[in-house]
Structure 1
């Protein structure tokens, strides 16, 4: 019979039972390690994307356009924001229109408006706020749109 040492507690366990031992006795430690690894991978991916964006903008835009074909709303919102940040306003707006045609949510409008303001597209931001206010009539959203419009007008 072969034994292996558990990397978590040092206990010698039969080789064919090591996996079972680890998941029953050390699941919290395993989860913690996995989250640490996922965070590291996330940071590495972020740094790679940032490098690609800075040093190879045309490749980055192409990558984002291809990524936007995914059927995941969060990915599409990320892509919309990145396209706008790269001054690809028409592509970003096209993606915005696609997003709201599938799921007309306030959050999508807000993300789009925020990106327009960040890129100095104040007139477009005001126009978009006014459109959103016609669609969503809850008081909190209306008040937020009015504040955004006020700030955008001050920057014109």
Structure 2
């Protein structure tokens, strides 16, 4: 199965290890998944994986656009918080803060945030299905 021009494809395989966890593999990487009904502290549960994917998407977007914008930074942190509703089970809201260590002015910081919101694959997949709000600030 090959992607058509202008499209990318992704492939992940996840397998149950036992009643306490599972393993996902992609390329040469693997990650332990918290699929234990009691939870486990040493692995991400599915909701946390989604939030980690959203965070990684924002960080990757920043890596992509900083050279284009000539934006100088020393570091970035993404803080994400979500609220889960029980019935039906879903994340009803996700809030994030991008903390950027930079000397760039506020206008450029806003421009960086606009680019993150506009061009992130996971961001744009999650946004229509939940209340996704966030801000950007200087470290």
Query: What TM-score range do you get, normalising by the shorter chain?
Result: under 0.3
Q: Which has the higher helix share?
A: 1
**TM-score, normalising length from structure 1?**
0.24
Larger Rg, first or second structure (1 or 2):
1
| TM-score, normalised relative to structure 2 | 0.26
| Structure showing the higher strand proportion among its residues | 2
